[in-house]
Every structure is written in C-alpha cells, then in structure tokens.
C-alpha cells in the first residue's frame, strides 16, 4: 500500500496510508470532539468520508464557520425534503438551497399552511435522531436519470446542467436521496436543532409562466443555544424593523401615488436627517471641503462621456426627451424601440435623472484652468440621485429608487491620494464613534493580479492600493483585503457595520478613480509647468441619508441619542394648575433651541406617560405643585427611571451640554438599576 503526506493547517505533515478519509485525518489531529463537519482538501470543500488518494493539505470545516454553517443549512434542506416526501408521498422536491439566514426547499405539492409546519419539523427531528449516515454516490448518466424519472423538475436540471454523457452525484440518507454535488454533513444527528419558520409560494425557476411551488423556510444551528439565540435575534430584529418604527415614530412615509422606493421625509424624520447633515457638514468644513449644489438632471451626452449611458440603462430611470422632438418623432411614426436605438447611438438628445453626482462635480472642476496649487480640490454635496431598483428589491429606506448621498469628490495629485484617503476615513471614524457604532469592519477591494481589465498604470495602482491598505490599518479595527473586488477604475474601501444583534450593514465607500479624469480629459498644471492628469476620489461614507437613517433607526431601536431625538422633551403637567409653569419651561427650552412638546391636557398623568412613551422622547418633564413652587423639574427617562426636583436652571444647562456633546445616550437621569458590588 502506498503512503501519502497530509499537510495540516499548522504546517505539520503526517504520513498515512492511501485511502484514509478526511474524518480519520482530522480525528487523528484534533481528537474525537473536533467539531468539524466537512473538510477542505487542497482548499476544496469535501465530505468527511472523502478518501485521500494522493498527498494533499487537509483542514477541517467547523460547524460554526461560515462554510460550516452553509453546509449545515443545505443539509437541513435535504432533511426537510426527506420529511416532506415521507409525510406527503406525492410531493416532488425541486430545489433547496442554503440562504443568508437559513434554508428553503421548493416542492410541487398541494398548498400547505403554517400549521402544517409543526408536523414536518417533528418528522425532521425524528429523522435526525435516527442518525442515518449521509452517503455520496457517483452515478453515470443512465443511472442518474433512472433515479429521477419520477421527478420532471430534477430531470430538467439534469438535462440542463449536465453535458451529454456526463454523470453526477446523489446524496443518500436512509432510502431517501437527492441530486447534489455536496458536500454534506456526515450524519443526520448534526441537524437536531432545526426550526421551520414559514411557508410561501414560488415559481419553478422564478418564472411566472411556470408551475407554482410551495416554498418552506427553516433555520438550523449547530447547538440548541445557538438556535435559541438566532430565534431571539429574529424577534429583536422584528421589533427594530425600521419600516415598523419609522411608521410608529412618524419618521418617514412611502406613498404608492408618489412612487415605490421614494422616501417622503416627515417633519420628525427630517430633524434626524438635518442634525446628521449639520454634523457631517461641520466636519467637512473642518477638513477643507467646499460645498456645491448641482441639479437633479443632466444631458445624455454628459453620461455618454462618463460611461453611465447607455451601459447602465437597466438600473436607471428612462431618459427624458424634449417635448417637441418627441412629438416630431411620434408624427414620423417612430416606435419606442426605434427611439431607444436612436438614443443609444447618440442621434437623439435628452436628459437623465442623475444616477450619480460625479459628472456634475467633474464639470465644476473643469470650469476653470487648474494648477497644482488648487489641489486637493474637495467638492461636497448632499446630492440626490435616482436608480431604478427592481420592484422586488425595494424595501423601506434601505433599498430605494431615489436617495441623497453624503457625496464628495476629491481631485488630487497621485502623491496626495494617501493623505486624502486617510482624511475620508477619519470622518467615518468620528461619526461612527459618536453614534456608538463601534463594531465595524473594513474591506479593501484590490485588483485581480494579472488581469488587464483595469484602467490606469500598474505603478499608480500599487501606490493607491497601499494607500487604502494603510488607511484601513490606521483605523485599528478588523480589516480584510479582497483581491478582484476593486472597480475597473480603482481600488476602494468599504465599511460594514455590525449592529447590536449581529447583523451586518454595508454602508458607504471610499473609491479611487483613474477613469473619469481620463474620460473627461481633466488636467492641472504641475509645478514643473507641464500638464498632468488628476486622480479622483469618490466617497460617500454613509452611502445615503436614507439608508443610513434606516440603519440608525434599527441600531437605536428608535431610542435616539438626545441630539438626534425629534422631540427631545415632552412636558407633561399633572393638572390644569401647572399650565403656566409648563409654558414658561417650554419657552426657556425653545430659546435654547431644544425641541419640546407640551401636553397640558386633562388625561391622568399615568395615561399621558403611556401615550408619550410611545414617541420615545429623550425625557418626559413632569411638572406639578412642588415643581412649580420651587422652580424645579422632575424627569422620567425612557426606561422608567426618574429623578425629582432638579432645579430648572441646572436642568437646562445640563441638557444643553448633553446635546452639544452629542452624548450617545440620554444621561440626566441616573440609572436606578445599580449593580450590587
């Protein structure tokens, strides 16, 4: 028997007899309780039962790793299909992938309801306890087809995906099997902790013309605790959903008659946006940015030069064509598709809602002859742009068709890239810290080595990539570099924020660009007297105000820091008699630009508190006999904690300090849940 060398992740090389399995290698290296459910063999995912036939490297895939979770989910989808076909003998499994949160499987079967899920889940748990081994079996084309004769959906996949004469694999557990490439968990007991969550319908292959199927969604985790934590997070996410809170707290509105994906900022939501914009603007001025304003449309020619038209047509609102021209073409009998062709080829002029602010800013740059003394030129605009997201993808404030970017374009020399990228990142850091979004990571997108699809000189790229790397490094947070993730026109830095319940939100980017300066033939006169090409940096650190505020609503669960709270103080009187004092307190607060609301109505104090709590003011200011007499206030915090008889003057001074310091949480009421040590 010949021997092979197996390299382990720590570099150890062990010698084994050929034919040893991944499971045996991993058990030998890590002991029986290794927690792995599959393995990388030379970097490729394989089953634990895979026999090794030549020297290679082996690394276990833990059930808690990203790849492990994926395998667990996909394996649970198989288990779901097995349970459904055992309970509903006529049901035909179609496809069942792992998805972001869990898994689903689509079946051709009579409709079922959520009430039926319980029995299916029970069956899954029963099967998992039986702990059948999951086996991979290679079949030739003929055998494969005979296994799936009864299922036209699987046959369609086989006929579409497999080249003539090619075989494939099935995965078998007990008597049940499915068409699949794997890998899978080695046995079913790994799938004990499943939960079926919902049932809906879907079309075969997403095609409305084809059969309607039943889709069952589920979750799976490696342990009971992990499953409970996931279910709790889902509950919490529902409570924090910005679409729900946005409505309850009256922060924004979407109206079908205005259009899908178009956000109407209500007065209360507008306060949050304005406060954020003011805060960002302050730091932009400090960093030497110039504010500009540009229109919401631009000529098609502008976007022909920039390259946004016609290439990105799919993701844009259709162009606007001048009325007279439209009429003339219609009179000539020009069809819509002829019109589209004329437009594409540049024979017709028109306008477009701007999908990006960059071309407008480029034109501000080129409106004057520039010299090295003008650089860096930093142009900032809260610029509204329009993109045609597919209607299925539109959601609340986070996927919209019109949004305002916290946009800016920096026109710099090659030498200035590093420092300017650093400046962009500093701004992000300041704001994340102020908002208590301290759990974030950074992705640096680099070019694919040896590819020729990139514009700009390789040496320039090297420098820009180094600049992005060291800027990311300087943040002191987790960062990764990802080859091939750069745009064709330059490297970039993305920010991904993790919220309190562990969800990740991709916010904005900083992006180096060698392309647009080229396309628009931008120049500046160097101190050598020669003309040079500037480099552009695009940056919108928060992406858009809509998305950012949507994320903030969920991040704070609607309980904003005082400086962002739409109405900071709700003044509540105990009785009729304190009306005048209430008005006096309100006037003093308003004088200091503190946002207040008075409730001096007839309801009981208990009822008033319950009503106002729903709007999540930073403080409820409660005024009665004692307060009016002594010129004090009593405060009630969001969690119900209270403080009484705070001198009015002191309260105003402290509140102003809290607001101007942008404290991450209201802090005027000491917490009564003291720890007992």
C-beta of residue 348 within 8 angstroms of C-beta of residue 339? yes
- Tell me how far, at minimum, the Cβ of 579 lies from Zn ion, in Å: 54
The Cβ-side half-sphere exposure at 223, using a 13 Å CA radius, reads: 7
CA 672 to chain CA centroid, nearest Å: 36
- Tell me how far, at minimum, the Cβ of 182 lies from Zn ion, in Å: 6
Distances (CA, A) of 330 to 333, 339, 550: 5, 9, 43
C-beta of residue 394 within 8 angstroms of C-beta of residue 400? yes
Choice between 404 and 567, CB closer to Zn ion: 404
The DSSP letter of residue 4 is E
Looking at residues 12 to 41 of the shown chain, list those that interact with Zn ion (rule: CB under 5 A). none
- Tell me how far, at minimum, the Cβ of 157 lies from Zn ion, in Å: 12
- The helix (run of H) or strand (run of E) holding residue 118 is helix 114-130
- Tell me how far, at minimum, the Cβ of 519 lies from Zn ion, in Å: 13
Q: With binding defined as CB under 5 A, does residue 379 bind Zn ion?
A: no
The single residue of 78, 242, 409, 555 carrying the catalytic annotation is: 409
| 499 included as an active-site residue | no
Choice between 37 and 358, CB closer to Zn ion: 358
Looking at residues 543 to 572 of the shown chain, list those that interact with Zn ion (rule: CB under 5 A). none
Q: Which stretch binds Zn ion (CB under 5 A): 196-204, 301-309, 353-361, 591-599?
A: 353-361
C-beta of residue 291 within 8 angstroms of C-beta of residue 281? yes
- Tell me how far, at minimum, the Cβ of 190 lies from Zn ion, in Å: 14
* CA–CA distance, 419 with 470 (Å, rounded to integer): 10
Choice between 180 and 353, CB closer to Zn ion: 180
Question: Which of 401, 538, 608, 636 is close enough to bind Zn ion by CB under 5 A?
Answer: 538
Q: Which stretch binds Zn ion (CB under 5 A): 155-163, 178-186, 240-248, 320-328?
A: 178-186
- Tell me how far, at minimum, the Cβ of 294 lies from Zn ion, in Å: 12
The single residue of 215, 387, 539, 547 carrying the catalytic annotation is: 387
Choice between 182 and 561, CB closer to Zn ion: 182
Choice between 180 and 535, CB closer to Zn ion: 180
C-beta of residue 445 within 8 angstroms of C-beta of residue 482? yes
Binding mask 639-658 for Zn ion (x = CB under 5 A): --------------------
Tokens, residue 504: 């990740």
C-beta of residue 325 within 8 angstroms of C-beta of residue 348? yes
- Total length of the chain: 677
- Tell me how far, at minimum, the Cβ of 657 lies from Zn ion, in Å: 38
* CA–CA distance, 261 with 249 (Å, rounded to integer): 19
Q: With binding defined as CB under 5 A, does residue 633 bind Zn ion?
A: no
Q: With binding defined as CB under 5 A, does residue 358 bind Zn ion?
A: yes
In the chain the first and final C-alpha atoms are separated, in Å, by 67
| 147 included as an active-site residue | no
CA torsion, ordered 554, 558, 563, 565, to nearest 10 deg: 140
The single residue of 47, 106, 407, 600 carrying the catalytic annotation is: 407
CA 505 to chain CA centroid, nearest Å: 3
Q: With binding defined as CB under 5 A, does residue 180 bind Zn ion?
A: yes
- Tell me how far, at minimum, the Cβ of 178 lies from Zn ion, in Å: 6
Q: With binding defined as CB under 5 A, does residue 154 bind Zn ion?
A: no
The single residue of 22, 36, 56, 358 carrying the catalytic annotation is: 358
Choice between 396 and 534, CB closer to Zn ion: 534
Neighbours of 283 (CB within 10 A): 15
Choice between 272 and 540, CB closer to Zn ion: 540
The Cβ-side half-sphere exposure at 55, using a 13 Å CA radius, reads: 8
Neighbours of 484 (CB within 10 A): 10
> Which runs of E-coded beta strand occur in 318-450?
351-353, 377-386, 402-412, 440-446
Neighbours of 210 (CB within 10 A): 11
The single residue of 78, 308, 443, 492 carrying the catalytic annotation is: 492
β-strand pairing of 596-599 with 569-573:
parallel
Choice between 396 and 423, CB closer to Zn ion: 423
How many amino acids of this chain bind Zn ion (CB under 5 A)? 3
Nearest to 68 by CA among 226, 250, 254: 226
- Tell me how far, at minimum, the Cβ of 55 lies from Zn ion, in Å: 29
| 405 included as an active-site residue | yes
C-beta of residue 317 within 8 angstroms of C-beta of residue 386? yes
- Tell me how far, at minimum, the Cβ of 510 lies from Zn ion, in Å: 11
| 387 included as an active-site residue | yes
| 360 included as an active-site residue | no
The single residue of 184, 378, 538, 595 carrying the catalytic annotation is: 538
Choice between 363 and 579, CB closer to Zn ion: 363
Query: Three-state SS for 51?
Result: strand
Q: Which stretch binds Zn ion (CB under 5 A): 60-68, 199-207, 535-543, 555-563?
A: 535-543
Choice between 127 and 272, CB closer to Zn ion: 127
| 492 included as an active-site residue | yes
| 579 included as an active-site residue | no
- The helix (run of H) or strand (run of E) holding residue 145 is helix 141-148
Give the residue at shortest CB distance from Zn ion: 180
Q: Which stretch binds Zn ion (CB under 5 A): 129-137, 272-280, 389-397, 531-539?
A: 531-539
Distances (CA, A) of 526 to 395, 517, 521: 48, 16, 15
Give the active site residues: 358, 387, 405, 407, 409, 492, 538
Binding site for Zn ion (CB under 5 A): 180, 358, 538
């Amino acid at each position: 028997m010949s021997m092979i060398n197996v390299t382990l992740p720590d570099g150890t090389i062990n010698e084994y007899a050929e034919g040893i399995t991944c499971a045996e290698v991993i058990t030998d290296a890590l002991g029986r309780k290794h927690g792995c459910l599959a393995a990388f063999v030379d970097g490729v995912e394989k089953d634990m039962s895979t026999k090794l036939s030549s020297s290679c490297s082996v690394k276990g895939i833990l059930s808690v790793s990203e790849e492990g979770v994926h395998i667990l989910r996909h394996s649970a989808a198989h288990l779901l299909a097995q349970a459904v076909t055992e309970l509903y003998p006529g049901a035909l499994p179609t496809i069942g992938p792992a998805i972001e949160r869990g898994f689903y499987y689509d079946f051709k079967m009579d409709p079922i309801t959520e009430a039926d899920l319980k029995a299916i889940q029970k069956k899954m748990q029963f099967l998992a306890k039986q702990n059948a081994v999951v086996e991979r079996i290679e079949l030739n084309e003929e055998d494969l087809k005979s296994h799936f004769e009864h299922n036209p959906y699987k046959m369609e996949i086989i006929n579409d995906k497999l080249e003539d004469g090619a075989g494939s694999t099935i995965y078998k557990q007990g008597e049940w099997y499915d068409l699949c490439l794997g890998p899978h968990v080695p046995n079913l007991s790994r799938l004990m902790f499943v939960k079926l969550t919902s049932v809906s319908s879907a079309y075969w292959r997403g095609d409305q013309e084809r059969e309607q199927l039943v889709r069952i969604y589920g979750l799976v985790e490696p342990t009971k605790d992990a499953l409970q934590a996931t279910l709790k997070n889902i509950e919490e996410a529902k409570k924090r959903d910005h679409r729900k809170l946005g409505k309850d707290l009256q922060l924004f509105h979407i109206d079908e008659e205005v259009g899908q994906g178009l956000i109407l900022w209500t007065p209360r939501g507008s306060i949050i946006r304005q406060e954020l914009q003011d805060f960002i603007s302050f730091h932009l001025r400090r960093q030497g940015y110039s504010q500009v304003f540009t229109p919401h449309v631009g000529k098609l020619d502008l976007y022909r030069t920039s390259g946004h038209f016609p290439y990105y047509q799919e993701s844009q609102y259709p162009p606007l064509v001048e009325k007279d021209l439209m009429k003339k073409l219609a009179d000539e009998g020009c069809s819509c598709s002829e019109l589209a062709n004329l437009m594409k080829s540049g024979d017709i002029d028109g306008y477009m809602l701007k999908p990006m602010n960059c071309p407008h800013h480029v034109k501000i740059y080129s409106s004057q002859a520039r010299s090295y003394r003008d650089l860096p030129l930093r142009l900032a605009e809260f610029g509204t742009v329009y993109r045609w997201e597919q209607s299925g993808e539109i959601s609340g404030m986070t996927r919209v068709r019109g949004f305002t970017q916290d946009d800016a374009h920096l026109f710099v020399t090659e030498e200035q890239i590093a420092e300017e990228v650093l400046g962009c990142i500093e701004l992000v850091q300041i704001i994340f810290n102020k908002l208590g979004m301290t759990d974030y990571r950074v992705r640096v997108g680099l070019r694919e080595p040896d590819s020729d699809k990139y514009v700009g000189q390789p040496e320039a790229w090297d420098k820009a990539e180094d600049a992005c790397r060291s800027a990311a490094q300087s943040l002191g947070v987790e960062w990764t570099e990802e080859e091939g993730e750069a745009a064709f026109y330059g490297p970039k830095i993305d920010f991904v924020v993790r919220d309190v319940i562990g969800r990740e939100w991709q916010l904005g980017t900083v992006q180096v660009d060698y392309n647009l300066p080229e396309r628009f033939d931008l120049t500046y006169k160097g101190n050598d007297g020669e003309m040079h090409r500037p480099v552009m940096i695009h940056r919108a650190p928060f992406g858009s105000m809509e998305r950012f505020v949507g994320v903030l609503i969920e991040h704070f669960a609607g309980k904003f820091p005082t400086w962002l709270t739409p109405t900071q103080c709700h003044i509540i009187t105990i009785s009729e008699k304190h009306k005048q004092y209430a008005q006096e307190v309100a006037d003093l607060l308003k004088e200091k630009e503190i946002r207040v609301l008075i409730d001096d109505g007839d309801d009981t104090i208990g009822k008033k508190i319950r009503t106002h709590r729903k709007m999540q003011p930073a403080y409820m200011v409660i005024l009665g006999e004692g307060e009016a007499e002594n010129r004090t206030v009593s405060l009630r915090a969001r969690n119900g904690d209270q403080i009484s008889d705070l001198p009015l003057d002191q309260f105003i001074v402290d509140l102003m300090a809290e607001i101007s310091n942008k404290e991450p949480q209201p802090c005027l009421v000491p917490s009564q849940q003291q720890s007992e040590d």
